[in-house]
Amino acid sequence: MNQILVTEKVYVTPELKRKKKMYKILFMLSIFSIISLFSVYIYAEYDRNKDESISDDILSYLTQPEDDTTISSYKNALVVKITQDVAEEIENTEQNTQQLQIATATSTYTAPNGKKYDTVGIVKIPKINLTYPILSKTSDALMKVAPCKFHGANPNEVGNLCIIAHNYRRKSVFFSDVENLVIGDIVEIQDLSQRTIKYEVYDIHTVLPDNVADTTQKTNGRKEVTLITCTDDSQQRIIVRCKEKKITK
């Protein structure tokens, strides 16, 4: 005997229709939000990569051999100058505190978009495979391009050269891997005269963002370098202090 299965008809109330419509709207909004966030992320990555490519271009110009035949095509892009900006530095003496005015030598690179970038040298950290130009000033825009001179002495001169860079929490990008350095690691600074000096890490610690004690220029006549970046949660600053490595014979 055949059985006839009858499906009970569900009566759709106005309230059910309203909820169903609302669910559709929320679903579409969720999809739109996901697409928007993904688009913002893609654009941010594109913008960041574009800025990093400028850093690579600057590095290429700084390391271009003077006798290279191709440099003639770039002669309008690379200009070595002495800036008119004067930094006031404090140096302790036995009798009093003397103010010194230091002119900063910079190398100016003009990007294809017409923007100019003044650099003071190159920072290299072999352990984390890092090589970047050092821009002569610090700003939000410049920090997207390369590490920047935050304060202090000129590269490879007596005093404390303070270099700041972003921690993008990605390997091998700016100072993201600086937290992996340990006491005894080497940081190399190349100035515009192509002279390279090795600096040895002697202290690593974190401070609050408004603590600038480590930018002091009281180095007892030593050449020092201080690297500055954010912790992964951006709540503190990682400080890496380095001093000139003495050559042992």
Per the prediction, the chain carries an average pLDDT of: 78
What's the mean pLDDT in 150-174? 92
Would 212 be classed as within a structural domain? yes
Number of domains in the chain: 1
- The model's pLDDT over 66-85, given as tens digits with 9 standing for 90+, comes to 544 333 333 333 333 333 33
pLDDT value, residue 103: 52
The answer to whether position 223 is within a domain reads yes
pTM flag (> 0.75): no
What's the CATH code of the domain at 162?
Answer: 2.40.260.10
- Owning domain of residue 109: 47-61+76-244
Q: Considering only CA atoms, which of 229, 217, 223 is closest in space to residue 242?
A: 223
104 Cβ neighbours under 8 A, 6+ residues apart: 82, 83, 85, 87, 120, 136, 154
Name the least confident of 3-7, 43-47, 96-100, 112-116.
Answer: 96-100
Range in 20-34, 63-77, 218-232 with the lowest mean pLDDT = 63-77
pLDDT of residue 9: 55
Q: How far apart are CA 81 and CA 105, in angstroms?
A: 6
Residue 41 domain-assigned (yes or no): no
In a domain, 39, yes or no: no
